[in-house]
Structure 1
Amino acid sequence: MSGTTRAGSYRDVLLLPSALRTFVPALFGRLAYGLLPLSLLLSVQRSTDSFATAGAAVAVFGLLSLSMPYKARLVDRFSQRRVLPVLAAGAAAGLLLIGTASSAVLPLVGVTGLLAPPLGPSMRSNWRLLTDGSALKERAYALDAVAEECLFLGGPLIAGLLISLVSAPAALGCSAVLLFLGTLAMVTSPVATHTAAASPSRHPLGPLVIPGLRRILLVVMVTASGISIAYLCVAGVAQRAGHPGAAGYVEAAIGLGSVTGGLLWARRSHTRSWAVHLGGLIAVLATGLLVASLVTDLVALGVVMGAAGAAVAPLFVVSYLAADEVTPAYQRTEASTWINTANNLGSAAGAALAGLAIERTTPSRGFLGGGVLLVLVAAAVGASGVRQARDRR
């Protein structure tokens, strides 16, 4: 049997009742997170005159992303309309205060990160509701993943423009306004009143007690480590070539590849198991890293990594679908946030490993190590998928 069939179009997704009035404001709210890293870094550096403190501020905000699943649990329990505006108001106020604060910056950043609303997981929850009864969920997830990639490509450009023309605090203020207004508009949608059915019991670890989800999160975490290694090794190659700024162009090529891959992936409705798809996508990334270990020319590296990047957005789409498959309905928003959290933790671990590899050896060996790591993951996940398919026969 073929592993793919024709899927509905993006137009079909956007024409779903309440889709546009939910998705468009959600994009504006999520754009705030695209502006945030650079504007936060430079705002704190400006107010404290310390890059060390600025870097710590970004790290603290990222660390507080571990609270995202528990905020998602509140959203599931009490609805987006009751929870998200409160979080957005607090986070927006925190961002405005950070832009003017000269002391107690790190605690303020911590509180702001704790209040940051889980807009991405909430929008994916909305897509589940909007596509209920249709075959458009995978298409909607792909649209969401591609849009998110575009936001994180465009966000730093907008932040850089505002910083250049006005100031870093102005960029941070823009992020606050986008976050607050986008969230308020998003929760006017009828689906924002939905609450998940009550569960028989609520374990403190939520969906983490589900073995299937833990396996998916482990795969996401290790894969994210490999991707993070690639990003740092790209910077290492550019630095050694005497063109450090060129790393930005190579990273943009990865983002462009991811957007293209997501668009192409969603043209088909995939019928093989999520494990088979994950294994194949990770194998594409592994191949890219292994080839990159042999490349020293920056243009060629951009082509190779851009091609490998085509697997990134589809990988997240499959991960979200897999999480939906193994978790009950009342825990799916929270499970979706754990995918993002696993990605963030894996990225941090990969960055640390890549930093050691570049410092002690060469970027080429870093690419090689990351590629070998992903080959092992792809083989394990693919073998699991084959076993699942055999057991179903």
Structure 2
Amino acid sequence: MLLCAGILPLMLSFICFNMSFTTFDVSMTAAMEADHLDKFLGLQLAMIAIGSCIGALYFGSRQHRGSHWRRMLICLSILVVGFALMRVTMDWYFVLGAVELLAGLVVSPLFATGNLIVREVVPEHQLTEGLSWLTTAGQIGAALGSLLGGMVIDHIDAHAGVMTTWMYTLAAIPFAILGWYIVSRKNPSAN
């Protein structure tokens, strides 16, 4: 199953961009605790989830045309910009919340698109296994994000932790491009 066209690059992409979420969580926790605003932390972090929920409702209500890989690249690119703007606005929590909400709009569509790619490239009898591998990649990324985020915060500060989030998401893009390239060479109709 792991040798199916595009699956390994897709998994690597999911590892990278999932690192950004937990790094953001631990960095914002550190920043808000330093500002003695930790009682508002849940609300601040919920803004991405609210945006993601809105994005899921919109994504799920539409019939999608075109390449799932292209959609994934667009969502990753928007998320890179969103995380970069979160770093810029992280000292103004109200503005940061608005940026989180807007960037969150692509989170659920990104996860759903990854699942659609798996459905497209793995044999039908291995679909559950393929989706499980993708979920595992996401969990590995989440664990690595917490680990590295904590190390960056301990050695530098929370601002540096938030800075890494867009870098992790940016690192996911070449893997997505590689996956799209592999799949399109094997199946030109995947474009």
Mapped partners of 1:262, 1:347: distance in 2: 20
Residues 190-339 of structure 1: matches in 2 within 5 Å? Answer: 207-295=1-89, 296-339=91-134
Mapped partners of 2:162, 2:50: distance in 1: 20
Out of 357, 366, 374, the position equivalent to 2:161 is 366
Question: 1:326 Cα shift?
Answer: 0.9
Mapped partners of 1:279, 1:267: distance in 2: 20
CA RMSD of aligned residues (A): 2.1
Higher helix share: 2
Contact 1:253 1:303 in 2 (8 A): yes
Mapped partners of 1:313, 1:336: distance in 2: 15
Contact 1:226 1:370 in 2 (8 A): yes
Could you tell me which runs of 5 or more consecutive residues in structure 1 were left unpaired when the two chains were aligned.
1-206
Question: 1:386 Cα shift?
Answer: 7.6
Deviations 1:319-359 (A, max 9, x none): 11101111111110111111211111110000001001111
Question: 1:382 Cα shift?
Answer: 4.6
Q: What amino acid is the match of 1:342?
A: A
Contact 2:84 2:163 in 1 (8 A): yes
Q: What amino acid is the match of 2:130?
A: A
Pair 383,270 (structure 1): closer, same or farther in 2 beyond 3 Å: farther
Contact 2:76 2:169 in 1 (8 A): yes
Task: Report the equivalent of 1:343.
Answer: 138
Q: Secondary structure in 2 aligned to 1:381? A: helix
Structure number with greater CO (CA < 8 Å, separation at least 6) is 2
Residues 30-41 of structure 1: matches in 2 within 5 Å? Answer: none
Contact 2:9 2:179 in 1 (8 A): no
Contact 1:289 1:371 in 2 (8 A): yes
Contact 1:238 1:298 in 2 (8 A): no
Moved over 6 A (4+): none
Contact 2:13 2:175 in 1 (8 A): no
Residue identity over aligned pairs, in percent, reads: 22
Deviations 1:351-370 (A, max 9, x none): 00100111111222222222
Task: Report the equivalent of 1:189.
Answer: none
Question: 1:385 Cα shift?
Answer: 4.2
The TM-score with structure 1 as length reference comes to: 0.44
Pair 382,269 (structure 1): closer, same or farther in 2 beyond 3 Å: farther
Q: Secondary structure in 2 aligned to 1:293? A: helix
Question: 1:290 Cα shift?
Answer: 0.6
Q: Secondary structure in 2 aligned to 1:230? A: helix
Contact 1:221 1:343 in 2 (8 A): yes
Mapped partners of 1:375, 1:222: distance in 2: 8
Mapped partners of 1:384, 1:283: distance in 2: 16
Deviations 1:192-213 (A, max 9, x none): xxxxxxxxxxxxxxx2232422
Pair 382,213 (structure 1): closer, same or farther in 2 beyond 3 Å: closer
Deviations 1:11-41 (A, max 9, x none): xxxxxxxxxxxxxxxxxxxxxxxxxxxxxxx
Greater radius of gyration (CA) = 1
The number of residues matched between the two structures is 186
The TM-score with structure 2 as length reference comes to: 0.87
Question: 1:317 Cα shift?
Answer: 0.7
Pair 259,268 (structure 1): closer, same or farther in 2 beyond 3 Å: same
